[in-house]
A and B are shown apart, each in its own frame.
Chain A
Amino acid sequence: MKETEGGSIKDKDIQQLIGSLLRWGVLLSMIVVTIGGVIYLFRHGHNISDYSTFKLQPDFTREVWPLLQGVLAIKGRAIIQLGIMLLIATPIMRVLFSAIGFFLEKDYLYVAITVLVLAIIMFSMFGGFGS
């Protein structure tokens, strides 16, 4: 394995960047989830809960546009779900940043591998498996 001095320094930079991205992503999403949770409990804390059987969830917990409308209407559950979407996006953004990192290192084999991983996740997202 031939790795020049310059290459390994770049490797370290990318590792630092990815480390920060993961940390901030988790922190931000947890803040959003907590805010949504407080609003939800404040409004619905005394309702009777039942998670014992699966029921189809409202659109605003499953689809992006109804969710954002729910967030604007300050619906607690929509805000929680926004935080959860941010959390799910965090490792996906990490993959994207890795692709850019490998590109800067001119490691095109790993640019291809990383893009393939992204494509698989996109396929999962838009492949209609959710219905």
Chain B
Amino acid sequence: MSVLVLTVIILIGAYAAGLVGSLTGLGGAVVIIPLLTILLHVDIHYAIGAALVSVIATSSGSAVAYVRQGITNMRLGMFLEIATTSGAITGAVIAKYLPVKYIAILFGSVLIFSAIMSLRKKAGYINNEPSPLSQKLKLNSSYPAADNTEITYGVRNVAGGFVMMIFAGVMSGLLGIGSGALKVVAMDGIMRIPFKVSTTTSNFMIGVTAAASAVVYLQRGYIEPGLAMPVVIGVLLGAFTGSKILVHAQSNWLRYFFAVIVSILAVQMIYKGITGGI
């Protein structure tokens, strides 16, 4: 296949991945990696390198609005970035030594988990019993609600959330994804942060986390410019389109439909990993 034809195909695929990733909340990277490896037979390290770069673009691009609205908890994000960046370096180091079949199997498993997470009901609790550590770290904050009132909330189990964030960082560095689903588990499930704050703060952190491992991937030559170019441009444009559509249509069957498709891709990744087809 000529470079031109392949670039156009990847551009279209990355656009679709960015769109689906944005509509489902999974992120474009987890969708583009199986597309590249299964359909186009791209080496998984190249696929991960290109996806990682697209993660930085979408995270930074979409964080703008939330940061400006004051929903993002910047102190919380910054504190937890200690965990995610150290995890990301660890992941990038492991990526070199872990055989690709295990990377594929692990990727498939995280993908299925993320797909299930994207379908769950979003509990809207507000916790007003902050832990002593969260007070010391000034993590408790407030965010503007739709009717312009400020909703104050407290943060629980800081240590538990921190450990979960290290794990999310390792997965991000190892698999080239944003690990949004794992970050939300840490913040929603463990630290009991309101849903709106946890998703925007997680998104805010994803760019820095990905950058920490991207510098390793770049030096290692995993980021191939000819491949990364259509991936980054496509995913970013797709995510942008998705964010515009999302405001208008939020149908449930669409989310189920995409979750099923993503799960099929995930099973294929696991299957290829086990049979050594990757």
Contacts and interface: CB of A to CB of B under 8 A. Distances in A.
B57 A87 contact: yes
B208 A91 contact: yes
Given A63-B219, A131-B219, A87 B232 contact: yes
B159 interface: no
Interface string B1-42: 111101100000000000000000000000000000000111
A109 interface: yes
A15 B70 CA distance: 7
B62 to A, nearest CB: 9
Interface of A is mostly: helix
B196 to A, nearest CB: 16
B56 A91 contact: yes
A94 B82 CA distance: 15
Which of A41, A54, A63 has the largest count of B CB atoms less than 10 A from its CB? A54
Interface in B22-72: 40-43, 45-46, 53, 56-57, 59-61, 63-65, 67-68, 70, 72
A125 B207 CA distance: 16
Interface of B: 1-4, 6-7, 40-43, 45-46, 53, 56-57, 59-61, 63-65, 67-68, 70, 72, 74-75, 78-79, 81-82, 85-86, 88-89, 92-93, 135, 137-138, 140-141, 207-208, 210-216, 218-230, 232-233, 236
Question: What 4 A-B pairs come out closest when comparing CB atoms?
Answer: A130-B219, A57-B221, A91-B207, A45-B4
6 contacts: A14-B74, A44-B226, A54-B46, A91-B208, A124-B92, A124-B216
Given A77-B226, A87-B57, A95-B208, 15 more contacts: A15-B70, A23-B64, A37-B7, A37-B230, A44-B226, A51-B43, A53-B43, A62-B219, A62-B221, A90-B60, A98-B74, A110-B78, A116-B82, A117-B78, A120-B212
